A = this chain, B = another copy of it.
Amino acid sequence: MLIREAQPEDWQEIWPIVRAIVRRGDTYGYEPAMGEEQARSLWMELPRVVFVAEEDGDLLGTYYLKTNQAGPGQHVCNCGYMVAEKARGRGLATAMCEHSQRAAVDLGYRAMQFNFVASSNEGAVRLWRRLGFDEVGRLPRAFRHPEKGFVDALVMYKWLNA
């Protein structure tokens, strides 16, 4: 598996991955009905850098990296990761998260923050913990899950080793 910077023409393979996850509405702070153009702008243009995980010419996952707060907060980055349904359970999220931490250090960041992890997304919470992220915040009922209703959202944070 190769993790490389996304090119504009990768979007046609990225969009089905993003669309499936956004439509479910149970993990990300995106509008579930979001259209393709807005998704492209949010995922491909707004971040500082976007990567894809590729295997035999297939895109299996993608992540973005961006500055979380400007000015006095610009040493902390934020990332979001998405894995194609068919590639679940193969360690892609782990590989992308580890890759993103190295990329962040290379770009001069000192820490990484996840702003809005649904507490109901237990697999993700467990994974980020295993990768060294601490739960530094808990937002009461900040995430409205499509089946579970209001659940807490977590803020997770890791100071990066340069």
A residues in contact (CB < 8 Å) with B: 22, 25-26, 28-32, 34, 69-76, 110-111, 113, 115-116, 118, 136-146, 153, 155, 157, 159
Contacts of A141 in B (CB 8 A): 110-111, 159
What are 19 A-B contacts defined by CB distance under 8 Å?
A22-B71, A25-B72, A31-B70, A34-B70, A69-B142, A69-B153, A72-B145, A73-B143, A73-B153, A76-B142, A111-B140, A113-B139, A136-B137, A136-B139, A137-B139, A139-B155, A140-B157, A142-B157, A155-B155
Number of copies: 2
Are B137 and A71 in touch, CB under 8 angstroms? no
Please give the distance in Å from A65's CB to the nearest CB on chain B: 16
Task: Give A76 to B144 CA distance when docked, in angstroms.
Answer: 10
Contacts of A71 in B (CB 8 A): 22, 25, 28-32, 34
Are A76 and B111 in touch, CB under 8 angstroms? no
Known contacts A76-B139, A137-B155, A157-B139; decide if A29 and B70 are in contact (CB<8 Å): yes
Known contacts A136-B137, A138-B137; decide if A72 and B157 are in contact (CB<8 Å): no
Q: Which of B26, B70, B74, B76 contacts A72 (CB 8 A)?
A: B26
Please give the distance in Å from A151's CB to the nearest CB on chain B: 9
Contacts of A159 in B (CB 8 A): 140-141
Task: Give A140 to B137 CA distance when docked, in angstroms.
Answer: 11
Please give the distance in Å from A102's CB to the nearest CB on chain B: 20
Please give the distance in Å from A35's CB to the nearest CB on chain B: 13
Task: Give A144 to B69 CA distance when docked, in angstroms.
Answer: 11
